[in-house]
Structure 1
Amino acid sequence: MRQARDLLRDEDLRPKLWLYWTDLLLSWAGLLVGIHCMVDVHLPWPARFAGYVAAVILGYRCALFTHEIAHQPEKEFRTFRFVWNLLIGIPFLMPSFTYAIHLEHHRRRSYGTSHDGEYLPFGTRPVWHLLAYLGQSFFIPLLAIFRFGVLTPLTWLGRPVRDWVHQHASSMIIDPAYVRPLPSDRQLSAIRLQEAATFGFLVISTVLNVCSWMDIGGVRALVEPWLLLNVYIVAVSVIFINAVRTLGAHRYYYDRRAEDDRPMSFTEQLLDSVNYPRRPFTTTLWAPVGLQFHALHHLFPSLPYHSLRAAHQRLMAGLPADSPYRQTNSPGLLHALADLWRRASESQTPKGKVERGKRKSSELEAA
């Protein structure tokens, strides 16, 4: 850490807000154009398919700005967070409060434990867990509609319901057993405002689509009857790509829940994370907004996304040959996914179970 900080000391690593605004607004405008092309029945199918591809890529990029919002200074990004919620968070049914718990994933005493909702030991579980995790992408949009269209008004009935919904149905996580801590009064006010806005958006959207299908009040001229289906297709595609990226973000070696839920060492956390420095153009498509440098992000979580590549290059040039950081680089996503599949398959064999038991014993002795 000391060597890495020294190497980056002369770099201007502050977030450039003008770049955030430009990136977000251009991506959002491209998303709207893509969806418009998808639903325009007068366009030939290649143009409509190109619109679908553009909508998925740019919608995905817009959505992942929530990751930057979670890490960057609250005061400096207050307006940006507000506008992002209006343009993306509320229409995508993922207001920023649902990702605020992401910081627990970066706390050294939480990472990989039951307090980390963004970690599951896929590398030590049967491969069907991987397939089930990818398969849930088709249902998450429907669950989001239920969460904000049904559960939100139920939270207005009383505190017991509100607390349960907050703890079990208000976080973008991969661990369904995760229990979110209850919010402070200040946090709760912001959460309830975002919930109400998302509920209102769902109600208005439903009314407009019903009127469009029934051709009431000339709404069909403004809202395409098949718009919701196209949006669902884009949403599922975005969620699926993000699920694949998530499987490649870490190596998922450790199963702390099977032991004593003790945290990993910092070196273990670093080596469990992955960088993808090669093929920057294609990598940026499936890991946008700096997420292709996930190990570097775990090393310096507050680095803005636009500084990560330059910081990575400086670290690779300056760190010693035996630095653990060099081991975080992967040749590509397919290589990482194949390795994860292999380890998950081998972990269920008798030999794999014995080796896993020996590794746990040695780790506990070292601790």
Structure 2
Amino acid sequence: MSASSGLASKRPASQNFAWRDQARGLIDDLLERSPAIYWTDFLLSAGIGWAMTAVYFLATPWSALQIGAFLLAAFLFFRAGTFIHEIVHMPSGQMVWFKRAWNILLGVPFLMPWVMYSNHVEHHNHRRFGTPTDGEYLPLGSSPIGETVKYLAQAPLLPLFMMVRFGVLGPLSWFNAKLRHWVLTRASAAVSNPYYSERFPKRFDKHLKIVEALCFAFLATLAMLVAFDVITGWQVFMGYLLLAFTLGLNWVRNLAAHKYVNDGTPMDHAGQVEESINITGQTWLTVAFFPVGLRYHALHHLFPALPYHNMDEAHRRLMQHLPADASYRLTNRDSFFTVVGELWQSARNTRREESAMRAWLPRSNRS
């Protein structure tokens, strides 16, 4: 499986990607972002999310109202949080106040300032995509099923990792150069690949220190409120559960972003698109679980600058006008469950000695 995927990625783009120029012509007029749509969508999602959070904290424990508020808040925060993906694809001087508002309403209280995701642009680099140096790729489909289980088991621990990162490691690293280097290379990127080790972009160093200070101040304030009995430890735990569930939604959703069967061989742009997935079934689950254009992940890898609010129209045009043999058509799946079923089956059929994950492991652990 993984070997065939690697061979597919090496096919000359002229044989499997000749339709790209036609595709670009079909969507050229859709590349402009609408600030009004971004602001309206984000503020409504975040605002109602915080309102539902208040209901969640104030409602009778375990009541239908509390459970409903918890779920609604999580899905709305998930939607609002997904704008981080749009932000990192914006030019540095575009919609600056939107980026700041995102940090204020979500980035700092969720301990995930958008600059921590600046490494995402590497995920679109043909020299990195689908390789051990890609922070957002693990070969789960070409590795035994235990690797997928390990991946999912991390989700409940994500808030704890972030609390340690910003509450302990970040502040301490300001005073220790060796620790700072480790933090910048091993704990300053929002990645799903735990073996990723790349130095945080130097151009954002100042920005990172500012948001580190803000996140530390947020955690310190929270600790003081607990110490002075303004809030209880149980309420902190409730907040942890909400954050873990929200982050977990994206962690699980990510299983349907790619096929995850590459063996670590670098892939050209055509290979990236063919390895990526579009979820085309328009169900309530798709709408909730793949917000802000996430369901068109193959389309995103085809045209990373395409704004989310134009993806429906772009996909419609491509499906209507591209040649019947265009590989873009092969990226479509009906549902999340179809994609995960394919990944699960692929992983089940992979023997341990064939695992592509060995290429991701540190050299000392490969056996």
| TM-score normalized by the length of structure 2 | 0.88
Q: Report Cα offsets for 1:267-294 as digits up to 9, x if no partner.
A: 2211110001211542121111100000
Residue 181 of structure 1: how far off its partner (Å): 2.4
What does residue 330 of structure 2 align with? Answer: 327
1:12 to partner: Cα distance: 3.5
**What letter corresponds to residue 27 of structure 2 in structure 1?**
L
CA distance in structure 2 between the partners assigned to 1:12 and 1:331 by the alignment: 25
Is 2:274 aligned against 1:271? yes
Q: Per-residue deviation at 1:72?
A: 1.4
2:23: which partner in 1? Answer: 4
Higher mean C-alpha deviation, range 330-339 or range 108-117: 108-117
Task: Using the TM superposition, name which of 97-106 and 37-46 deviates more.
Answer: 37-46
CA contact (8 A) 1:37 1:43 kept: no
Counterpart amino acid of residue 54 in structure 1: L
Larger RCO, structures 1/2 (Cα 8 Å, 6+ apart): 2
Letter in 1 for 2:21: R
The share of aligned pairs that are identical, in percent, is: 37
Separation in 2, partners of 1:41, 1:2 = 55
Q: Distance in 2 between matches of 1:143 and 1:71?
A: 26
The alignment partner of 1:227 has SS state of: helix
1:224, distance to aligned residue in structure 2 (A): 6.4
Shift of 1:47: 1.0
The aligned residue for residue 349 of structure 2 is 346
Cα-to-partner distance string for 1:227-280 (whole Å, 9 max, x where unaligned): 322221111212222122111100011111xxxxx4112222111100012115
8 Å contact kept, 1:284–1:290: no
Structure 2: which amino acid aligns with 1:304? P
Q: Name the counterpart of 2:80.
A: 62
What are the within-5 Å matches in structure 2 for residues 191-206 of structure 1? 191-206=208-223
Unpaired segments of 5 or more residues in structure 2?
A: 1-19, 357-367
The whole-number CA distance in structure 2 between the counterparts of 1:55 and 1:156 is 35
Contact 1:124–1:343 at 8 Å: present in 2 too?
A: yes
**Does residue 123 of structure 2 align to residue 105 of structure 1?**
yes
Q: TM-score, normalised by structure 1?
A: 0.88
C-alpha contact (below 8 Å) 2:31/2:305 kept by paired residues:
no
Partner of 2:308: 305
Task: Please report how far the alpha carbon of residue 44 of structure 1 lies from its aligned counterpart in structure 2 after TM superposition.
Answer: 7.7
Distance 1:334 1:265 in 2: 28
Preserved CA contact (<8 Å) 2:60 2:66: no
Q: 1:148 aligns with which of 166, 169, 188?
A: 166
1:125 partner amino acid = S
Kindly provide the amino acid, as one letter, of the partner of residue 249 in structure 1. Answer: A
1:302 aligns to what SS in structure 2?
Answer: coil
**Aligned residue pair count:** 337
Q: Deviations over 1:107-151 (max 9, x none)?
A: 111101122110011111111111111111111111110100000
- Taking the aligned partners of 1:79 and 1:318, their CA distance within structure 2 comes to 38
Please state how far the C-alpha of 1:21 moved relative to its aligned partner: 0.8
**Inter-CA distance 38–156: structure 2 relative to 1 (3 Å threshold):** same
Tell me how far apart the structure 1 counterparts of residues 227 and 290 of structure 2 sit (CA, whole Å).
Answer: 36
Give the Cα separation in 1 of the matches to 2:30 and 2:252.
32
Residue number among 337, 342, 345 corresponding to 2:340 in the alignment: 337
Please give the root-mean-square deviation of Cα atoms over the aligned residues, in Å: 1.8
In the alignment, structure 1 segments of 5+ residues that lack a partner are 213-218, 257-261, 357-367
